[in-house]
Amino acid sequence: MGVNYSLENVRSLWETGITLPLSFRREQLLTLQHAIEVNEGVILDALRADLGKPPCEAYASELGFVLADIQYALKHLAAWARPQRHHTPLGLQPARSSVHPQPYGIVLIIGPWNYPFALTLSPLVSALAAGNGVCMKPSEFAPQVSAVLARLAREYFRPDILTVIEGDATVAGTLARLPFDKIFFTGSTAVGRRVLEAAAANLIPVTLELGGKSPCIVCDDADLRVAARRIAWGKFLNAGQTCVAPDHVWVQASCLRPLVEHLTATIQTFYGPNPQQSPDYSRIINLHHLQRLTAYLGQGHLECGGQHDLNDRYLAPTIMTGVPLAASIMQEEIFGPILPVLPFNTLDEVIKQVRTQPRPLALYAFTENRATQTRLLAETSSGGVCFNDTVSHILARDLPFGGIGASGMGAYHGKAGFDAFTHYRSVMTRSLHWDPGFKYPPVTTSLVAMKRIYRFLLGS
C-alpha cells in the first residue's frame, strides 16, 4: 500500500513560520477542542464499535483525557515557550546566555489501538503546543476511530498543520522511514524496536511509549477491601487493554485468600453476575487477541471468570491462582482481563522476582509502611510508581509519563509533552567591546597558569 504524503511539500509550508506565534498555537488547540466537543457523539460511537467502550468510560479515559490535556496546555503554554535566562561564566563576560524553545518541525505520531483516540491525540496536543506540523497514523485495528480522526483532520486543520494517514503496518513502516524531525510511537515493545530501527537511518529522535508486565504488590498492612477495588478498577478498565494496567499481583501469602475473595466480590459489584451483560464492560479489540488471551486460561486455577464468547469478542474478568512462574502468562504482557495472583513471603523475595523481569511501565504497591515504600523505590526500576492505587498517576499532568528500558524511551504529559516535541536551542550573545588576548595564540602563559585561569574564569 502506498503512502500519499509529501513530506517536502508539507515542510515547505511549515517553514513559513506560521506555527511560531503563541496565538496560532492556541488557535490550533482551541480548534482541536472544538472538533472534539462538536463530534463527541460520533467519537463515542466509534469507540463503542471498535472496543465496545461504554460511553462514560470512553469519555473519561479518551475524550475527557484529551480535553484536559488541551486546557492544561492552554494554561501553561506561555510559560513553557518563554526563553529562559541562564548563567554565563565570568570568563565569557560581558555576555547573555539563554535557552530558546524551538519546535522540531514536522513530526510523526503513530497511535495505538487500545486507547485509539486519547493516546493518538494526547501527543498531538503536545506537538501543536510546541509549534510543530504533524502527520498522524492511527491504528488500523481501531478502524472506526481512525476514520473519524482522518475526517476531523480534513475538516478542521490545514494539511501542513495536521494530516492523518490511514493504513496498515506497511504504511506505518513507510512513514517511519521518511525523514521526519521527530517520531512519537505508542504501542508494543516489538513494534517499537522496528520504529526505532527505521528512525535510526535518518537519525530521527524518537519517543517510545511501550508497555511491559507492570507488577502490583500487596503487603499485609494494606486494607485489602480498598486494594481489591483499586486493583480491579485498574485491571479491568477497557477489559485490561491498558498499558499501565496491573499485569499480575504479588500478595503476602497470609493475605492471598482474603484478597482473592475481595477481588471476586468486587468484580461482581462492578459488573454484576454476568459481566457480558454489563453496560460498563468493554470488549477485546479483535479475535486474534481474544484467542491469544484464552490460551492463558489453562495455565493456572480459575478463581473466577474465564467465560468467553468469540462472536462477541468477550472475555470475562478473570482471577487466577497457582500460576507457575515459567508459564507463558508470566513471561508475556497479558494486555487483557486476566489477573494472576501469586503469594510471597518476604519483601526480599518479591523484589527479587520483580527484578527478574524487564523494567515495566508502572509498579504498584499497596502498603502504608514508609520503609517498605522506600525499599521498593530504591531496589526496583520502572517507568512510574503508584502507591496504594493503580493507573491514577497518569492523570497528574505535572508528572512526566514514560517508560524505561523495554517499556519505553522518553516521556510526555504536561510540560514533559511540550519538551518531547521541542528542541531547546542554546543561545549566547557576547559583546564586541572587550576582547582579551589570552585565549589567542601565541600562548604566553604556562600550563600551570592556564589551569588556574580556567578554574577561575570558567568554573564560576
Among 135, 216, 219, 243, the active-site one is 243
Start-to-end Cα distance in the chain: 59
Assess contact for 65 and 116: CB atoms under 8 A.
Answer: no
Res 90: pLDDT = 85
Q: What is the pLDDT along the chain (460 residues), one digit of tens a residue?
A: 457 788 888 888 888 999 999 999 999 999 999 999 999 999 999 999 999 999 999 999 999 999 999 999 999 999 999 999 999 888 888 999 999 999 999 999 999 999 999 999 999 999 999 999 999 999 999 999 999 999 999 999 999 899 999 999 999 999 999 999 999 999 999 999 999 999 999 999 999 999 999 999 999 999 999 999 999 999 999 999 999 999 999 999 999 999 999 999 999 999 999 999 999 999 999 999 999 999 999 999 999 999 999 999 999 999 999 999 999 999 999 999 999 999 999 999 999 999 999 999 999 999 999 999 999 999 999 999 999 999 999 999 999 999 999 999 999 999 999 999 999 999 999 989 888 877 788 888 888 988 888 888 887 5
Given a contact cutoff of 8 angstroms between Cβ atoms, the answer to whether 295 and 338 are in contact is no
CA distance 301 to 298: 8
- Measured at the alpha carbon of residue 380, what is the angle toward residues 377 and 382, in degrees to the nearest 5? 90
Q: What are phi and psi of 70, to 5 degrees?
A: -65, -45
**Alpha-carbon separation of residue 76 from 37, 81, 426 (angstroms):** 21, 9, 22
Is 209 in the active site?
yes
Q: DSSP character for 332? A: S
Shortest CA distance to 205 belongs to which of 194, 195, 218? 195
User: Phi and psi of 296, rounded to 5°?
Assistant: -80, -20
Q: Looking at 57, 62, 135, 209, which residue is catalytic?
A: 209
Concatenated DSSP letters for 177-209?
TS--SEEEEES-HHHHHHHHHHHHTTT--EEEE
pLDDT digits (tens, 9 = 90+) for 123-150: 999 999 999 999 999 999 999 999 999 9
**Dihedral (CA of 394, 224, 375, 211) sign:** negative
Q: Please enumerate in sequence order all residues whose Cβ is within 8 A of that of 342, keeping only pairs 6 or more positions apart, or say none.
A: 248, 249, 250, 251, 321, 323, 325
**pLDDT value, residue 270:** 98
The pLDDT of residue 443 is 84
Is residue 216 annotated as a catalytic residue, yes or no?
no
Pairing of strands 362-366, 215-218: parallel
